[in-house]
């Protein structure tokens, strides 16, 4: 007869085995699989039959599933990387063509490689994060947040280089808030909504407190630009909030 102690040990080992599944699969089905294993163990216990044969069969069967799911996951990841790499290359054509026709646009090869890595990195972030949830609003929220974050980081990089004012580096704190918030949120829609609202608030505070030192006509343009970014981050936060509400129904 299987004892409770043996059952507990088997369930603990099974939970450890489930960790070998790819993350997205584990998050979606791990709890259900552990529950099903628990139910099968209880069925055995109620029938006063030993656990070892069942545990051995299920551990083997699950191990085969782990190999299959990891193989499938790697092949999907490979396809995603190829798609993103080609997409990034297509977007890179814009500055590449522009550098040929726009006067004064003279990037060297390193700049193109750097920009390509940025495009590829942003695309992969979208591909990996957006598959976390099926809701259109979640995917749109991820896309909007990444586009706004990329544009903010890019424009600030250009602005710091042009103005040589290190005070402008403070804008990167908005992206830092996003990065820390997203990792703490574990990409859950509700917490991501709060992160995006925090990013919008941080940017609004910086816009109000940081003296631009620019002439009035330029200061007005900067205020409009700040407003656009605050709106984009807020809109992304609202999309995540929509996804969170839709997911909890």
Partner 1 sequence: MAKKDTARAPLTPAVLHILLALSTGERHGYGIMKQVEADSQGKVKMGPGTLYGSMRRMMEAGLIRESEKRVDPEMDDERRIYYELTGAGRAALEAELNRYRGVVAVAEGRLAYGH
List 2, 10, 51, 58, residue binding partner 1 (CB under 8 A): 58
Residues 59-78 binding partner 1 (CB under 8 A) are 61-66, 68-69
Stretch that binds partner 1, among 24-32, 77-85, 162-170, 235-243 (CB under 8 A): 24-32
35 is an interface residue for partner 1 by CB under 8 A: yes
216 is an interface residue for partner 1 by CB under 8 A: no
The total number of residues shown for the chain amounts to 249
Q: How many residues contact partner 1, by CB under 8 A?
A: 21
- Taking the complex as a whole, the smallest distance from the CB of residue 42 to partner 1 amounts, in Å, to 8
Integer CA distances (angstroms), 165 to 149, 212, 217, in order: 21, 10, 19
- Taking the complex as a whole, the smallest distance from the CB of residue 247 to partner 1 amounts, in Å, to 11
145 is an interface residue for partner 1 by CB under 8 A: no
List 10, 37, 177, 234, residue binding partner 1 (CB under 8 A): 37
Q: Select 28 or 52, whichever has its Cβ closest to partner 1.
A: 28
- Taking the complex as a whole, the smallest distance from the CB of residue 64 to partner 1 amounts, in Å, to 6
- Taking the complex as a whole, the smallest distance from the CB of residue 38 to partner 1 amounts, in Å, to 8
Which residues contribute to the site for partner 1 (CB under 8 A)?
Answer: 25, 28-29, 31-33, 35-37, 39-40, 57-58, 61-66, 68-69
């Amino acid at each position: 007869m299987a004892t409770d102690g043996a059952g507990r040990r088997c369930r603990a080992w099974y939970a450890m085995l489930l960790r070998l599944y790819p993350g997205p699969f584990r998050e979606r089905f791990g709890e259900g699989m552990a529950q099903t294993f628990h139910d099968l163990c209880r069925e055995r216990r109620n029938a006063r039959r030993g656990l070892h044969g069942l545990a051995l069969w299920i551990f083997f069967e699950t191990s085969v599933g782990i190999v299959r799911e990891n193989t499938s996951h790697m092949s999907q990841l490979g396809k995603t990387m190829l798609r993103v790499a080609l997409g990034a290359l297509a977007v890179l054509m814009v500055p590449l063509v522009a550098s040929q026709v726009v006067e004064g646009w003279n990037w060297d090869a390193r700049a193109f490689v750097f920009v390509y890595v940025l495009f590829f990195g942003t695309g992969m972030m979208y591909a990996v994060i957006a598959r976390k949830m099926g809701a259109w609003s979640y995917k749109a929220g991820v896309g909007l947040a990444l586009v706004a974050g990329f544009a903010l980081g890019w424009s600030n990089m250009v602005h710091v280089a042009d103005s040589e004012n290190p005070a402008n580096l403070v804008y990167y704190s908005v992206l830092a808030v996003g990065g820390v918030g997203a990792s703490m949120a574990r990409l859950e829609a509700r917490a991501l909504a709060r992160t995006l609202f925090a990013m919008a608030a941080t940017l609004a505070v910086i816009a109000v407190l940081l003296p631009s030192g620019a002439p009035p006509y330029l200061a007005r343009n900067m205020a409009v630009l700040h407003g656009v970014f605050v709106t984009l981050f807020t809109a992304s936060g609202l999309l995540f909030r929509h996804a969170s509400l839709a997911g909890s129904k």
